[in-house]
Chain A
Amino acid sequence: MTTTDLQMEKPVDTLPGFDEAQFSSVLEEGMSPVLAAKREEAFKTYLQIASPKRTDEEWRRTDPTLFPLNDVTRLPALKPVRELPESAWDKEFDVVVAVQDDAFAIMHRNDTAEKLGITVLSLADAAEQKPELVDEYLQGRAVPAESGKYEAFNDAFWNFGLFVHIPEGVEWEKGLLIRYRMEKEDSLLLPRFVAVAGKHSRATVAEHLESPDAIRFMAVPQRELYVDQEANFKLVSLQEWGLNSYQIANDWGLVQRDANLNWITLNFGTALSKMKFGSDVAGPGSAADMDGIFFAAGEQHMDQRTLQIHSSPDTYSRLLYKGAVKDTGRSVYQGLIIARPGAIRVDAYQTNNNIVLNEGARADSIPGLLIDADDLKCSHGSTTGNLDPEQLFYLRSRGINEHDARQALIMGFFEEVVARIPQEFIRDIVHKNIEDKMER
């Protein structure tokens, strides 16, 4: 075979509707040369990665062809506006980023962020105004592994970028709320969120994503969390996309020496979603706590993959994902702890508990360990079952009716994670979501 033959064979693979032409229209939206160059680079990578197939191990349980990429239209780059309607929880935060269909607003409720030197800008603005801060994080990504198709897709096509930077030594008490409300039928949102917590800093970010049940909508978000030395960063992400929406998410956290990442994902929405949450405790002494709740009822299908990568010695990670499935809901949990060669004195724990509430619902649990070092402790535990009949019987024998008893048990089941959520209003929404799903 000659060299030309080989070149000809190089796969050029596009997701339905996202080809060269579509990409040039993205470039026409106008952006800084740095970002444009990054996008072009990403687009090349995107072309070379084969689209996921059902036969790929990662996609065996979630059919990639069921995502309606053909039917949705990418929203053009979201436009900044001064203000968007308030929500009841805004007052809990110093800065609120609101995203609504084709517009977004960054609203400072007071001057705290300004005083502390905290940057909250759209990625486009940040690249222009503060290249010295942003460029570093545009070079690589928090992803320690190779890009997947959808990661490269977001890199090339993202239509809303947000950059948050907390300077060295700053403690941001009230933090940031990012809320999405998408009401535009058949739209595709590709948000890209880059958060940087500088050395010794401390901050909390809350995210709330929602859309009405009636409209079809798709999101391909990508979050990158850089937690620098001795920093402490918390992200709580509450996903309540409507029941007719779709999501493919690829989120990564990179944790440096002695830093701490605290990451809670709460997934209640979408008809079909495939999510990846990965953390890399990359500096000695760093720690990652990952918690999650998911509840698939009706015909929902939720596929979640978590990765706990230990690329440094003396690192710690703990993961607890709790899920319930009801009606014909289906959940897939795939977790992996990876200890890279040389990562000694590692402590890693992974627990996945599933409650299958009725026949017809299904929960797959695939915890995994991939260990290339000795002198460490890694463990995982997984349980799948219905509510404990003995506990149910006990409550019934105390005169609590079946409905309330089940409700109480399921609340108790999730409470271990709910109690770790710092914001009260999010805890309330989570409780309400669980109740609603139980009632339906």
Chain B
Amino acid sequence: MSTESTAILDDYKYGFYTDIESDAVPKGLNEDIIRIISEKKGEPEWMLEWRLKAYRWWLKKTAPSWAHLNYPPIDYQDICYYSAPRKKSDQPDEIDAELEATFEKLGVPLHERNRLAGVAVDAVFDSVSVATTHREMLQEKGIIFCSISEAIRDYPDLVRKYLGTVVPYTDNFFASLNSAVFTDGSFCYIPKGVRCPVELSTYFRINALDTGQFERTLIVAEESSYVSYLEGCTAPARDRHQLHAAVVELIALDNAEIKYATVQNWYAGDKDGKGGIYNFVTKRGHCRGKRSKISWTQVEAGAAITWKYPSVFLEGDGSTGEFYSVAVTTNRMQADTGTKMVHIGNNTKSTIVSKGISAGHSVNSYRGLVQVMPDAHQCRNYSNCDSMLIGPDCSANTFPYIESENSSAVIEHEATTSRVSEDQIFYLRSRGLSEEDAISMVVNGFAREVFKQLPLEFSVEAVRLLEMKLEGSIG
């Protein structure tokens, strides 16, 4: 691996690159590459079969074009589908010091001594999971929290039972691609009646050049269990686009609750839209059990292009789905994000709160679906999508789809789009705040409803992230 320069750091503080020896497969995608990936991971035969089926399906599909996004076609043969930091052979079980330093720099604690942070972390570096903390404590409770590759090896029955049942490999173009080449991600299993005492967390980092990251996360919450899961992501600043196509599957059984939070800060490219991550993600949860609950919270602050619709299928009677989102776009970023709430069971409820902030020349779209099936009685949905515009050249769009097939459903949707309030800015300015501080205060107030859904440490981080993002975008 060469010492590649990362000259275009600008203000993205996670834009550094770690020079680490890595073990990568050649660029391109074919059945052999998939076999190599599968072999490297020591996967059983059924897993390889599944990957190949997904790959063959993917070949027949074309990338979706309905989103309000504009990007050149992606050459899928120009991507490296597997890259792992090479372990030093004399100390195979230790985490590479440089790698550790990288995560330290990112603020991800890999050691148990950081237990104070109260977060159990699974860190994914390019294609593999490098460390999972807090494992013993979790094991005592019967909670499984490990990388998905380990899970395939150690808990094949569980993985086989649930993998692909929420997002099948036939689901969409990017999900098929992910199913064929996914390299790592987290697996999390909460047994019956257990309330996970710490926040579980995965930290994703794309490091190598020209690699795509295809992670797959599967979370299963058994009856009456609870888990809160956090996900964070960054990547080095590079002037080329990199692909990130993840799949996240959540399954909540009777009375279980899953909270899933994302703070996404992939490198978004420079001011002219050069470089940055393409973030094409399929996230979906199934509320399979009665009175189960799945809550998505996302802070989308990075990535050149975001295509992401965390959804909840409300199958169990009385189940609840929530979606809280703040999406910030600046410079030339494009985001088409939102949610799907599909009401299948009776008395199911869903809440959607989406806050879009666009600045610079960015395009920020909310796209959502609320669907009530004919046999779903007494369902309730409330959606609120607000957009804030900062500067004259950005755009904000809202495309909510509401499909009600049951007369007992009550569905409400509200959306507003407006400029950052001049009165409020004026008031704050007259109190001696600088224009930037004033705007940041107004924006934070605007996004508060979503931030308060995040665990405290993340909430603080998210506010800072937003301030950092909007710095300099006010002219």
CB of A376 within 8 A of CB of B402, answer no
- Give Cα A356 to B408, complex, Å: 8
CB of B407 within 8 A of CB of A386, answer yes
Q: Contact partner of B417 among A57, A356, A360, A371, CB < 8 A?
A: A371
Contacts A365-B402, A379-B417, A385-B409 given: A374-B389 contact, CB under 8 Å?
yes
Asked whether any CB of chain A lies closer than 8 Å to the CB of B387, the reply is yes
CB of A379 within 8 A of CB of B406, answer no
- Give Cα A384 to B392, complex, Å: 34
Q: Contact partner of B404 among A344, A363, A368, CB < 8 A?
A: A363
Asked whether any CB of chain B lies closer than 8 Å to the CB of A404, the reply is no
CB of B390 within 8 A of CB of A384, answer no
Q: Which residue of A lies closest to B410 (CB)?
A: A385
Contacts A359-B407, A360-B374 given: A369-B415 contact, CB under 8 Å?
yes
Min CB distance B358 to A, Å, is: 9
CB of A364 within 8 A of CB of B401, answer yes
Contact-residue bracket for chain B: 20 to 34
Asked whether any CB of chain A lies closer than 8 Å to the CB of B418, the reply is yes
Contacts A368-B398, A374-B394 given: A359-B406 contact, CB under 8 Å?
yes
Indicate with 1 or 0, residue by residue over B73-86, a CB within 8 angstroms of chain A CB atoms. Answer: 00000000000000
Asked whether any CB of chain A lies closer than 8 Å to the CB of B400, the reply is yes
Min CB distance B379 to A, Å, is: 10
Asked whether any CB of chain B lies closer than 8 Å to the CB of A423, the reply is no
Asked whether any CB of chain A lies closer than 8 Å to the CB of B395, the reply is yes
Asked whether any CB of chain B lies closer than 8 Å to the CB of A129, the reply is no
Q: Contact partner of B411 among A371, A375, A376, A385, CB < 8 A?
A: A385
Residues of A within 8 A of B407 (CB): 356-361, 386
Asked whether any CB of chain B lies closer than 8 Å to the CB of A53, the reply is no
Contacts A359-B408, A369-B396, A378-B418 given: A383-B401 contact, CB under 8 Å?
no
Asked whether any CB of chain A lies closer than 8 Å to the CB of B426, the reply is no
Contacts A356-B407, A369-B397 given: A382-B413 contact, CB under 8 Å?
yes
Asked whether any CB of chain A lies closer than 8 Å to the CB of B2, the reply is no
Asked whether any CB of chain B lies closer than 8 Å to the CB of A416, the reply is no
Q: Contact partner of B419 among A358, A372, A374, A385, CB < 8 A?
A: A374
- Give Cα A384 to B391, complex, Å: 35
Asked whether any CB of chain B lies closer than 8 Å to the CB of A12, the reply is no
Residues of A within 8 A of B389 (CB): 371, 373-376
- Give Cα A358 to B408, complex, Å: 8
CB of A384 within 8 A of CB of B417, answer no
CB of A386 within 8 A of CB of B417, answer no
Residues of A within 8 A of B410 (CB): 383-386
Asked whether any CB of chain A lies closer than 8 Å to the CB of B412, the reply is yes
CB of A379 within 8 A of CB of B409, answer no
Asked whether any CB of chain A lies closer than 8 Å to the CB of B66, the reply is yes
Asked whether any CB of chain A lies closer than 8 Å to the CB of B416, the reply is yes
- Give Cα A381 to B66, complex, Å: 23
CB of B392 within 8 A of CB of A366, answer no
Asked whether any CB of chain A lies closer than 8 Å to the CB of B4, the reply is no
CB of B405 within 8 A of CB of A383, answer no
Residues of A within 8 A of B435 (CB): none
Asked whether any CB of chain A lies closer than 8 Å to the CB of B414, the reply is yes
Asked whether any CB of chain B lies closer than 8 Å to the CB of A367, the reply is yes
Q: Which residue of B lies closest to A367 (CB)?
A: B400
Q: Which residue of B lies closest to A374 (CB)?
A: B389
Q: Contact partner of A364 among B399, B404, B408, B416, CB < 8 A?
A: B404
Asked whether any CB of chain B lies closer than 8 Å to the CB of A380, the reply is yes
Q: Contact partner of A367 among B391, B405, B413, CB < 8 A?
A: B413
- Give Cα A377 to B398, complex, Å: 13
- Give Cα A385 to B407, complex, Å: 6
CB of B414 within 8 A of CB of A384, answer no
CB of A57 within 8 A of CB of B66, answer yes
Min CB distance B356 to A, Å, is: 10
Q: Which residues from 367 to 403 on chain B have a C-beta closer than 8 Å to any C-beta of chain A? A: 374, 387, 389-392, 394-403
Asked whether any CB of chain B lies closer than 8 Å to the CB of A370, the reply is yes
Q: Contact partner of B414 among A356, A371, A381, CB < 8 A?
A: A381
Q: Which residue of B lies closest to A350 (CB)?
A: B415
Residues of A within 8 A of B412 (CB): 381-383
- Give Cα A378 to B387, complex, Å: 10
Min CB distance B380 to A, Å, is: 9
CB of A376 within 8 A of CB of B419, answer yes
Residues of A within 8 A of B416 (CB): 377-379
- Give Cα A212 to B460, complex, Å: 67
CB of B411 within 8 A of CB of A383, answer yes
Residues of A within 8 A of B397 (CB): 368-371
- Give Cα A372 to B415, complex, Å: 16
CB of A378 within 8 A of CB of B417, answer yes
Residues of B within 8 A of A141 (CB): none
Q: Which residues from 325 to 366 on chain A have a C-beta closer than 8 Å to any C-beta of chain B? A: 344, 354, 356-366
CB of B419 within 8 A of CB of A384, answer no
Residues of B within 8 A of A372 (CB): 395
Q: Contact partner of A384 among B374, B411, B415, CB < 8 A?
A: B411
CB of A364 within 8 A of CB of B402, answer yes
- The winner among A368, A378, A382, A384 for most chain B CB atoms within 10 A is A384
Q: Which residue of A lies closest to B398 (CB)?
A: A369
Residues of B within 8 A of A364 (CB): 401-404
CB of B413 within 8 A of CB of A383, answer yes
CB of B392 within 8 A of CB of A381, answer no
Residues of A within 8 A of B419 (CB): 374-376
CB of A381 within 8 A of CB of B413, answer yes
- Give Cα A57 to B399, complex, Å: 12
- Give Cα A116 to B391, complex, Å: 49
- Give Cα A370 to B415, complex, Å: 12
Residues of A within 8 A of B402 (CB): 364-367, 382, 384
CB of B401 within 8 A of CB of A376, answer no
- Give Cα A365 to B398, complex, Å: 13
Q: Which residue of A lies closest to B66 (CB)?
A: A57
Contacts A365-B402, A368-B400 given: A359-B374 contact, CB under 8 Å?
yes
Q: Which residue of B lies closest to A332 (CB)?
A: B403
- Give Cα A360 to B373, complex, Å: 10
Min CB distance B396 to A, Å, is: 5
- Give Cα A385 to B412, complex, Å: 9
Residues of B within 8 A of A371 (CB): 387, 389, 395-397, 417
Min CB distance A341 to B, Å, is: 8
Min CB distance A31 to B, Å, is: 42
CB of B406 within 8 A of CB of A367, answer no
- Give Cα A57 to B411, complex, Å: 22
CB of A373 within 8 A of CB of B418, answer no
Indicate with 1 or 0, residue by residue over A214-256, a CB within 8 angstroms of chain B CB atoms. Answer: 0000000000000000000000000000000000000000000
Min CB distance B376 to A, Å, is: 11
- Give Cα A383 to B374, complex, Å: 18
- Give Cα A378 to B412, complex, Å: 17
Residues of B within 8 A of A360 (CB): 374, 407
CB of A376 within 8 A of CB of B398, answer no
CB of B392 within 8 A of CB of A375, answer yes
Q: Contact partner of A362 among B394, B405, B408, CB < 8 A?
A: B405
- Give Cα A364 to B370, complex, Å: 10
Residues of B within 8 A of A380 (CB): 398, 413-415
CB of B399 within 8 A of CB of A376, answer no
Contacts A379-B415, A383-B411, A384-B411 given: A356-B392 contact, CB under 8 Å?
no
- Give Cα A368 to B394, complex, Å: 17
Q: Which residues from 381 to 432 on chain A have a C-beta closer than 8 Å to any C-beta of chain B? A: 381-386
Min CB distance A372 to B, Å, is: 4
Min CB distance B268 to A, Å, is: 20
Contacts A358-B407, A374-B391 given: A369-B413 contact, CB under 8 Å?
no
CB of B395 within 8 A of CB of A368, answer no
**CB<8 Å pairs between A and B, sample of 14:** A344-B392, A356-B404, A356-B406, A356-B407, A362-B403, A364-B401, A364-B402, A369-B417, A373-B392, A374-B391, A376-B419, A379-B415, A383-B410, A383-B413
Given contacts A358-B407, A386-B408, 12 further A-B contacts (CB under 8 A): A356-B409, A359-B406, A361-B407, A364-B404, A367-B402, A371-B396, A371-B397, A372-B395, A374-B391, A381-B415, A382-B413, A382-B414
Closest 8 pairs between A and B when the two form their complex, measured CB to CB:
A374-B389, A356-B407, A385-B410, A369-B398, A379-B416, A365-B402, A382-B413, A384-B411
